[in-house]
Amino acid sequence: MRYSGFKVMWEALTGHKGWTPAWRDPDPQPHYDIIIIGGGGHGLATAYYLAKEFGQKRIAVLEKGWIGGGNVGRNTTIIRSNYLHDGNIPFYEFSLKLWEGLEQDFNYNAMISQRGVLNLTHSDAQNDAYLRRGNAMRMHGSDADMLDVDQIKQMYPSLNTTDARFPIKGGLLQKRGGTVRHDAVAWGYARGADSLGVDIIQNCEVTGFKIENGTVTGVKTTRGDIGAGKIGCAVAGSSSRLLAKADMRLPIESHVLQAFVSEGLKPILPGVITFGGGHFYCSQSDKGGLVFGGDIDGYNSYAQRGNLPVVEDVCEGGMAILPMMGRARVLRMWGGIMDMSMDGSPIIDKTHIDGLYFNGGWCYGGFKATPASGYCFAHLLTRGTPHPTAAAYRMNRFETGHMIDEKGVGNQPNLH
């Protein structure tokens, strides 16, 4: 079924009897050509592009819970491509371009809103660093504008530009950045993949791998063994736990990241802002809630909930730049498990086990990467070679020292 304005009107006039389920609920088959483990954004996007762009058939996505229950439905919805390094900008720019045509492509309203992402700066040195970043972005064909304080005051009158502890010096604006309704991305990809014949199997946890003579031949699951020609792992925060079942130890740690939503307010933030004097970022949802977050909790965990010290730290960051938010009530908060890689950049690569492929290490920036990650993982699974924009995301960079350390802080996950 295609969704359209005409279809909505027709259903309104005929009692809404013509809507069908957005995807099927199939039982697992004994064997698939390709199995993707993880029904988050990356796994579903991979399955979608495998079927749509790379002509693959007999594909299944195995999800231990329900699709959208992981980080894809827990993030703060920000998309952007404001990266610095050669290994990163082309990939994230590719992703932003895919976002720009995604709703038409998978025929689903994901509320993609290019409302702009503004990184505030609070010292001359930070201003210079962002200027350098903006130039690097432009050299890769992305958009970037440096704003002065007057321009920022005009765009964001609610920011504290007078007596702030960290006065605003300027900001790097990416106009094409913005927000996307996160769970609609999972649903859109799921619906698109299902319509191309992909089996999306929920409540199906992978509990082990079947490996014969160095080649993976299938998975063990809570719904029985399933054979596969190739297997792609895209389980984000559960990467270390899953790959341990194939006796692999990854350069990844799992940490909790929290998100917060306030009560609905009248429009005060036209776009996304990030505070440069601490770790705080904020946007306003279409319902009026301030959607904000900050640092990871700072200890390894697989729990999808966080603790109070970081709540305090995030709120302090917010109050420093947006004092009025101290009067708003927080309505909801939750946590997700972040797959923090040791240089802050992701991995999309084969493993040493034939037929077993890995996608992970997204840290807290993987939502914006969803379309490109799916596309590039599908490319690797089909062609056996990395997509040109993801060529740097190899596993062995941690052995050879070719890190893509975007922030230059090394293996300190709390600083990425």
Site string for ligand FAD, 314-353 (x = CB under 6 A): ----------------------x-----------------
Rule CB under 6 A: is residue 71 a binding residue for ligand FAD? yes
The residues, any chain, with a CB within 8 Å of residue 249's CB and separated by 6 or more, are: 240, 243
Identify the three-state secondary structure at position 63. Answer: coil
For the CB of residue 213, give the shortest distance to ligand FAD in the complex, in Å. Answer: 24
Which range binds ligand FAD by CB under 6 A, 20-28, 31-39, 106-114, 162-170?
31-39
Rule CB under 6 A: is residue 114 a binding residue for ligand FAD? no
Residue closer to ligand FAD, measured from CB, 71 or 127: 71
Residue closer to ligand FAD, measured from CB, 127 or 204: 204
Rule CB under 6 A: is residue 121 a binding residue for ligand FAD? no
Q: Which of 290, 297, 299, 296 is nearest to 319 (CA)?
A: 290
Among 28, 34, 35, 39, binds ligand FAD (CB under 6 A): 39
Check the CA dihedral 49-52-53-59 and report its sign: positive
C-alpha 41/C-alpha 48 separation (Å) is 10
For the CB of residue 111, give the shortest distance to ligand FAD in the complex, in Å. Answer: 14
Among 238, 301, 345, 351, binds ligand FAD (CB under 6 A): 238
Q: What angle do CA 385, 186, 38 make, to 5 degrees?
A: 55
For the CB of residue 138, give the shortest distance to ligand FAD in the complex, in Å. Answer: 21
Check the CA dihedral 384-208-245-193 and report its sign: positive
- Give the residue closest to ligand FAD by C-beta: 40
Burial of 4-41, coded b for 16+ CB within 10 Å and e otherwise, reads: eeeeeeeeeeeeeeeeeeebeeeebeeebebbbbbbbb
Going edge to edge, which strands form the sheet with 117-121? 145-147, 170-174, 117-121, 272-275, 280-284, 289-300, 252-264, 330-341
Residue closer to ligand FAD, measured from CB, 193 or 257: 257
For the CB of residue 19, give the shortest distance to ligand FAD in the complex, in Å. Answer: 25
What phi, psi does 241 have (nearest 5°)? -65, -40
Among 366, 371, 386, 413, binds ligand FAD (CB under 6 A): 366
Residue closer to ligand FAD, measured from CB, 179 or 195: 179
Burial of 283-303, coded b for 16+ CB within 10 Å and e otherwise, reads: bbbeeebbbbbbbbbeeebee
Site string for ligand FAD, 154-193 (x = CB under 6 A): ----------------------------------------
Site string for ligand FAD, 281-300 (x = CB under 6 A): ------------x-------
Among 60, 198, 201, 234, binds ligand FAD (CB under 6 A): 234
Among 37, 147, 193, 216, binds ligand FAD (CB under 6 A): 37
Rule CB under 6 A: is residue 23 a binding residue for ligand FAD? no
Rule CB under 6 A: is residue 240 a binding residue for ligand FAD? no
Q: Which of 126, 133, 52, 124 is nearest to 89 (CA)?
A: 133
Residue closer to ligand FAD, measured from CB, 280 or 362: 362
C-alpha 320/C-alpha 3 separation (Å) is 44
Among 65, 167, 214, 384, binds ligand FAD (CB under 6 A): 65
**3-state DSSP: the chain helix, strand, coil percent, rounded to 5?**
30, 25, 40
String of DSSP letters for 298-327: EEE---S---HHHHHHHHHHHHHH-GGGGG
Among 33, 145, 205, 354, binds ligand FAD (CB under 6 A): 205
Q: How many CA atoms lie within 13 A of 361 on its CB side?
A: 25
For the CB of residue 193, give the shortest distance to ligand FAD in the complex, in Å. Answer: 13
Rule CB under 6 A: is residue 200 a binding residue for ligand FAD? no
Number of residues binding to ligand FAD, judged by CB under 6 A: 39
For the CB of residue 314, give the shortest distance to ligand FAD in the complex, in Å. Answer: 11
The residues, any chain, with a CB within 8 Å of residue 278's CB and separated by 6 or more, are: 166, 294, 313, 316, 317, 320
CB atoms within 10 A of CB 56: 21
Interacting residue ranges for ligand FAD, rule: CB under 6 A: 37-43, 62-65, 69-72, 74-78, 205-206, 234-238, 242, 257-259, 293, 336, 362, 364-368
